[in-house]
Amino acid sequence: MSTGITEREQGEAGSPGSDRHLRADAQRNRARILDAATTLMAVHGIDVPIDEIAQLAQVGVGTVYRNFPTKAALFKGLLMARLEPLVSAARAAADADEPGEAFVDFVRNLSDEFANFKALADAMVDSGVDLDAAKSQISGELISAVSRLLERAQECGRIRPDVTIGDVAAMMAGISHTDPILMDPSQRKRCVALVCDSLLIGARSLLPQTEILQPPAPLRTGSRSS
Amino acid sequence: MSTGITEREQGEAGSPGSDRHLRADAQRNRARILDAATTLMAVHGIDVPIDEIAQLAQVGVGTVYRNFPTKAALFKGLLMARLEPLVSAARAAADADEPGEAFVDFVRNLSDEFANFKALADAMVDSGVDLDAAKSQISGELISAVSRLLERAQECGRIRPDVTIGDVAAMMAGISHTDPILMDPSQRKRCVALVCDSLLIGARSLLPQTEILQPPAPLRTGSRSS
DNA sequence: TACTATACGGAACGATGGTTCCGTTTGTCA
DNA sequence: TGACAAACGGAACCATCGTTCCGTATAGTA
């Protein structure tokens, strides 16, 4: 359910005179804010309160808002920076000699990246913070790059021809957005492996072999109280 | 991120004298509240504001709280009512002649039910509303019933033996919690089919045939070892 | 019909979180 | 070193949402 926060500006505060002189303390604080935001976005996703970012950066909230007109504007740059390498990786994978293997590797890396930087996974779906313009660009570029990778892998006969980019996007989103109590890192890797199993043609199971023989871990149902 | 709402009572208001006389208007309002809650929980999940429930029921918020001490208490009964048939279905499926087919059918129905009553999917994971006691019971019973169904299907050689109940729970949760923009009903059915494909041994693809634009999917035989 | 326990509505409270405002501090430059 | 624009911090504002409170309305009864 969106909270209705709307993006009001594309750029950051002061972008008109983007090379204008910044006082030394302002430069330092801006860097601290970006560091703090990166740290907290990785773990808590797009839901981190601005107050927490300000606290970790050791500045006041006012200072955050002097640098970035909205929370969305602050997040946009950091998300784009995280996205670019992924788009490049998808494009490179599409040109690889073995697009089937490249596809599986890419999907694994994408899942890792979503898990290691939760805000990126949040940005791919409706997350309460309206990143409209940024989100379109972010997800659009990634989707089109992965589309081409998928097509190449299908042309090579390694991926089922009836699988669509929508299937891949939905499955990746599902795996990336599930409660970490149900989807801890080990479980996530298993799910990625199972998904890949269902996409590949005639592959050996990709499920981690080391986890197969152990007795099934008791399922934790998510009660986090005592 | 949990909002820290805590459950304070197990039952509903007035449950001690559960058969005590209720005024006619109170009975009518109680029924309206339950109807409204059911309608809104189905679409919006556990995030519906109490105000909206009261508005749809054409009562004040005070009336909601006179019937149910907390939001969690209101939701608990409705969730349990939705859950019971699922638990029964899972138990019946575990005793079916063909547990493999029964497993696939059950997973499909479970996914439909989660989609048709979003609050139930929310209740299976951390959702901001603390249903501790209720949630443990809800998810615990369902999980154990599905566990047995999975084991039976594995004993019959229809489901991969290396698949765990954790895998099934995580995949179902993933599919059920994904942004409906990415996971519309048709896409959800495709994802369920893909997941089942990855769990079953030597099955034809379960992807809906009507949606396949390409040549039919090749039979996937047991060439993938396990 | 009059009385009263029961129930009602919705304003108000407290907590959370995004955003704004303004009095104060400080880096920079002459 | 003094002046001042730039930047700072954080209180305050607004909106949302769960929950409580209390003055008012009414169903049931005599």
Confidence of residue A141 (pLDDT cuts 50, 70, 90): confident
Tell me, yes or no, whether A131 and A174 share the same domain: yes
What pLDDT score was predicted for residue B4?
A: 39
Distance A101 CA to C13 C1' (A): 59
A46 has a pLDDT exceeding 60: yes
SS3 label, residue A188? helix
Instruction: Give tens-digit pLDDT for A161-177.
Output: 999 999 999 999 999 99
Q: Within 7 Å: CB of A61 and strand C? A: yes
What pLDDT score was predicted for residue B19?
A: 52
Distance B25 CA to C2 C1' (A): 21
Instruction: Give tens-digit pLDDT for A48-87.
Output: 999 999 999 999 999 999 999 999 999 999 999 999 999 9
- Per-residue pLDDT averaged across A87-113, rounded? 97
Nearest-neighbour CA in chain A from B54: distance (Å): 19
Q: What percent of chain A has pLDDT over 70?
A: 77
B2 shares contact with chain A (CB less than 8 Å): yes
Confidence of residue B52 (pLDDT cuts 50, 70, 90): very high
Looking at A34, A68, A102, the residue that finishes a domain is A68
The token duo for A150 is: 């998928």
Tell me, yes or no, whether B57 and B79 share the same domain: no
- Per-residue pLDDT averaged across A202-220, rounded? 59
Residue A16: inside a domain, yes or no? Answer: no
Residue B96: inside a domain, yes or no? Answer: yes
The rounded mean pLDDT for chain B is 84
Q: Name the nt closest to B30 by C-alpha to C1'.
A: C7
What pLDDT score was predicted for residue B208?
A: 81
B61 has a pLDDT exceeding 90: yes
A10 shares contact with chain B (CB less than 8 Å): no
Tell me, yes or no, whether A41 and A79 share the same domain: no
List bases in chain D with any atom under 7 Å of a protein Cβ: 6-12, 16-22, 26-29
Number of structural domains (chain A) is 2
Instruction: Give tens-digit pLDDT for B121-152.
Output: 998 886 555 666 656 766 788 999 999 999 99
Tell me, yes or no, whether B166 and B63 share the same domain: no
Least confident segment among A71-75, A121-125, B7-11: B7-11
CATH of the domain at B147: 1.10.357.10
Tell me, yes or no, whether A101 and A202 share the same domain: yes
Tell me, yes or no, whether B100 and B159 share the same domain: yes
Residue B17: inside a domain, yes or no? Answer: no
Q: What is the dihedral of CA A9, A14, A17, A21, to 10 degrees?
A: -160
Tell me, yes or no, whether B91 and B190 share the same domain: yes
Q: What is the dihedral of CA B165, B170, B173, B175, to 10 degrees?
A: -110
Decide which of A138 and A214 is more confident.
A138
Decide which of A114 and B123 is more confident.
A114
What pLDDT score was predicted for residue B219?
A: 39
- Per-residue pLDDT averaged across A182-207, rounded? 91
A221 shares contact with chain B (CB less than 8 Å): yes
Q: State the angle between helix axes of B71-94 and B132-155 in degrees (0 to 180), rounded to the nearest 10.
A: 10
- Per-residue pLDDT averaged across A118-139, rounded? 73
Residue A53: inside a domain, yes or no? Answer: yes
Residue B158: inside a domain, yes or no? Answer: yes
What pLDDT score was predicted for residue B212?
A: 41
B3 shares contact with chain A (CB less than 8 Å): no
Least confident segment among B12-16, B26-30, B219-223: B219-223
Tell me, yes or no, whether A33 and A114 share the same domain: no
What pLDDT score was predicted for residue B217?
A: 43
Distance B113 CA to D20 C1' (A): 35
Tell me, yes or no, whether A62 and A149 share the same domain: no
Confidence of residue B16 (pLDDT cuts 50, 70, 90): very low
CATH of the domain at A55: 1.10.10.60
Tell me, yes or no, whether B41 and B81 share the same domain: no
The C-alpha atoms of residue B185 and residue A126 are separated, in whole angstroms, by: 17
Phi, psi of A200 (to 5 degrees): -80, 155
Looking at B68, B100, B127, the residue that finishes a domain is B68
Residue B13: inside a domain, yes or no? Answer: no
Residue B49: inside a domain, yes or no? Answer: yes
Residue B226: inside a domain, yes or no? Answer: no
Domain that holds residue A30: 24-68
Decide which of B97 and B215 is more confident.
B97
What pLDDT score was predicted for residue A225?
A: 36
Q: Give the chain A residue nearest B212 (alpha carbons).
A: A162
The token duo for B83 is: 């859950």
Instruction: Give tens-digit pLDDT for B191-218.
Output: 999 999 999 997 777 788 644 444 444 4
The rounded mean pLDDT for chain A is 85
Among B192, B194, B200, the strongest candidate for a mutation testing the A interface, having the largest count of A CBs within 10 A, is: B194
Tell me, yes or no, whether A56 and A86 share the same domain: no
Confidence of residue A8 (pLDDT cuts 50, 70, 90): very low
Q: What is the dihedral of CA A86, A82, A84, A79, to 10 degrees?
A: 120
Least confident segment among B10-19, B167-176, B192-201: B10-19
B137 shares contact with chain A (CB less than 8 Å): no
Within 8 A by CB and 6+ apart from B92, the residues are: none
What pLDDT score was predicted for residue A12?
A: 52
Tell me, yes or no, whether A108 and A146 share the same domain: yes
